[in-house]
Structure 1
Amino acid sequence: MALGILDLVGLGASLLFAIPLAGYGLGRLSDGDPLVGAAFVAVAALMVYLPQRLTTPGDIPGKIAERTVGSAVTTPDGEEEPVERSDSE
């Protein structure tokens, strides 16, 4: 999964809030409170996972721009993508 610059910034922001929350959840787990600890760890995991998977109305213009740029930037005719060859042949 290749992430763009804005995707990486969003992931970093999610991690900025999710890591301390997960740490608190792990602390509660080690203190003997499994229900609350597991809930905090699950919320922290969802804070990172869901923004990567869900499409919101604010994401639609960016997705359209990525598709437009991806279709506009192509390899010129006569040039091929480099193919990796193995030396075992």
Structure 2
Amino acid sequence: MALGILEQLGLAATLIFALPVAVYGIQQIVDGQTALGVGVLVVAALMVLLPRRLTTPDDVPGTVAEKAVGSVVKAPGESSDESEE
């Protein structure tokens, strides 16, 4: 799935905070604190993945508009006539 400009900026901002957390988790694993390190790595991964998967109230109008446009506008190859073969 291609990211738009704003989505790329949002991902970059998220990575600014998630990467140091991930590095700390890796350091903890190397130092022998495996449980803490893995837990911190999971938190870092969730910081990146959850905003992409969860729907927030800000996302609802865009999703509704996409569905409305998709139901009204047909793709260039589609036809409403089924008799054309």
Moved over 2 A (4+): 61-72
Whole-angstrom distance in 1 between the partners of 2:67 and 2:4 = 13
Whole-angstrom distance in 2 between the partners of 1:69 and 1:7 = 21
Structure 2 equivalent of residue 79 of structure 1: none
Structure 1, unpaired ranges of 5+: 76-89
Question: How far apart are residue 63 of structure 1 and its match?
Answer: 2.9
Q: How does 1:8-47 map to 2 (within 5 A)?
A: 8-47=8-47
Instruction: Provide the aligned C-alpha RMSD in A.
Output: 2.3
Whole-angstrom distance in 2 between the partners of 1:63 and 1:19 = 30
TM-score w.r.t. length of structure 1: 0.70
Structure 1 equivalent of residue 79 of structure 2: none
Aligned residues: 77
Whole-angstrom distance in 1 between the partners of 2:21 and 2:9 = 19
Structure 2, unpaired ranges of 5+: 77-85
Question: How far apart are residue 11 of structure 1 and its match?
Answer: 0.8
TM-score w.r.t. length of structure 2: 0.73
Whole-angstrom distance in 1 between the partners of 2:45 and 2:2 = 20
Give aligned-pair identity as a percent.
Answer: 53
Question: How far apart are residue 32 of structure 1 and its match?
Answer: 0.3
Q: How does 1:2-81 map to 2 (within 5 A)?
A: 2-66=2-66
